[in-house]
Structure 1
Amino acid sequence: MLRALFILACLTAACFAAPRARVAWSRRGHGRIVNGEPAVITDYPWVLAIEFLVRQECGGSIISTTWAMSAGHCFYDDVSKMSLRAGSTVRESGGVVSGISTVVYHENYDSTTLDNDIVVVQPTTPFPLGPNIQIVKLPTDGYEAPAGLRVTAVGWGMLSTEVYHEPEQLQKVDLYVDENWICGEILADVLPVTDSMMCAGDINKGVCFGDSGGPLLYGDVQVGITSWGQESCEYPLSAFTDIGFLRSWIRNATGV
């Protein structure tokens, strides 16, 4: 059932998981962040790769030794085929790999509108902290990132909508937060921008398919989760799950 809902959501909006729902991208739908630059895991040691049958599908983040966080639309019903890779700069290689024991979706997650697009998961074994594996900081309850704030998205998503390339190395891109009402007008033909979302982007820079679930950061504080946007990843704004808005839910679900 979840797989069918995921396909519907991806056809409705350009959700930024690896595009399993689109045949043309099925084995080529990964690349890197649009017009970003290479990054190393020691600079972003809380970043996770989420894999399905060993192939990388999404990103995520480490919020404690026993909990990780990602986008709800990144997950299948059968998590026995999914794993978390921590501590590696390189796609599908290195670091520490763990299975998934627990998945908790937001009770109001909507796979069609991508409202409350968040999930917290527990690895089968705790994350072994070290130089390459660390816990990301989270904002206070109700934190609203102000318009104009410079933030950074990190992931292994596509280079562009037209180029199918799978870089080995993690990528980052600097973006700017924009007002939700502006974003809502710009993205109105895709999906409504709700209170659980925030928007960020820049001219010819952004996130793309394969970046879903990865962190949007202000320094070492995660303020958002990559969620969805226009099918053209060069579009100036994309939607992210708003961590400040959902901060109390994260605490209630994980104790973090």
Structure 2
Amino acid sequence: MKLVLLILFVATACARTSPDRTAPYTDGPQERIVNGYPAEEGKAPYAVGLRMNNGAVGAGSVIGNTWVLTAAHCLTTDSVTIHYGSNRAWNGQIQHTVSKDNFFRHPGFGNSAGHDIGLIRTPHVDFTNLINKVSLPTFSQKGERFENWWTVACGWGGMASGNLANWLQCMDVQIISNDECARSYGSVASTDMCTRATDGKSVCGGDSGGALVTHDNPIQVGVIVFASGGCKNGPSGYTRVSDHLDWIKENSGIAY
């Protein structure tokens, strides 16, 4: 049974081709991660804002001096401008525009669920207190499902009438089992993961591609890819990073 998500298609969200996913989005006053909190400067130095040349927006995470991890559905355009080093996504300390020749989408994307993950090769960026990488799981953690771990997800999502959140929003959420997630969505790919929608917390439109990072010994365990209709009524969904470590190493050389 295919995963059916009650999500609105929005032209200004990250472009995508998969029939089983669409970039999460909600209309109304909460034009950001729903029921999140404003991040202090430097809370997520790995977080970058993405503006695609087709008008779409999304997010990503710095995983090396020349690499950004994001969702594959955010890489279906000719170029992307990456904004680094500020909680104001579109006013970063550094900006780089990168062409599609530097995009790497997982070969499973568009063919089966659970592979919505991509890489951007970037010009070299030096690390500072406001720009830094996030670590990935180690190869010894490939079988770890991270159930019940507490995590943080941050982003600038939401696009009503062209408006974006102008300050980074974050939410603290707990990873749940795929069985629990499937009770909301019918089925969930093993290479996806979900967080519980406690107190209505959810990722939403424009957050796509952002990182889900563990609280303790921070590592990126997920890439934001889906949410429920209205972004308040069900779990948030992510591509599972630990299941794609070989692919990330093969294309970027980054491994732990």
TM range (shorter): 0.7 to 0.9
Q: What does 1:84-123 align with in structure 2 at a 5 Å threshold?
A: 84-101=82-99, 102-110=102-110, 114-123=113-122
Deviation of 1:156 (Å): 0.7
Structure 1 residues 210-245: Cα deviation after superposition (integer angstroms, max 9, x where no partner): 110000010321110001122220023121000111
Deviation of 1:59 (Å): 0.6
1:225 aligns with 2:223: yes
Q: What letter corresponds to residue 188 of structure 2 in structure 1?
A: V
RMSD: 2.9
Structure 1 residues 116-140: Cα deviation after superposition (integer angstroms, max 9, x where no partner): 00001111x2112111110101012
TM-aligned CA distance change 1:231 to 1:14, over 3 Å: farther
- Aligned equivalents of 1:144, 1:92: Cα separation in 2: 35
Aligned to 2:40: 40
User: Given the alignment, which residue of 200, 206, 209 partners 2:195?
Assistant: 200
- Aligned equivalents of 1:50, 1:30: Cα separation in 2: 20
Where do 5+ consecutive residues of structure 1 fail to align?
20-24
**Quick check: 1:193–1:239 contact (8 Å CA) kept in 2?**
no
Aligned to 1:157: 157
Identical positions, percent: 26
Aligned to 1:76: 76
- Aligned equivalents of 2:126, 2:30: Cα separation in 1: 28
- Aligned equivalents of 1:34, 1:157: Cα separation in 2: 9
Aligned to 1:22: none
**Quick check: 1:29–1:210 contact (8 Å CA) kept in 2?**
no
Runs of 4+ more than 6 Å apart: none
SS at 2:229's partner residue? coil
**Quick check: 1:32–1:165 contact (8 Å CA) kept in 2?**
no
- Return the TM-score normalized by structure 1: 0.82
Aligned to 1:253: 251
Aligned to 2:7: none
**Quick check: 2:210–2:224 contact (8 Å CA) kept in 1?**
yes
Q: What is the aligned length?
A: 235
- Return the TM-score normalized by structure 2: 0.82
Aligned to 2:6: none
Q: What letter corresponds to residue 136 of structure 1 in structure 2?
A: V
Deviation of 1:15 (Å): 2.4
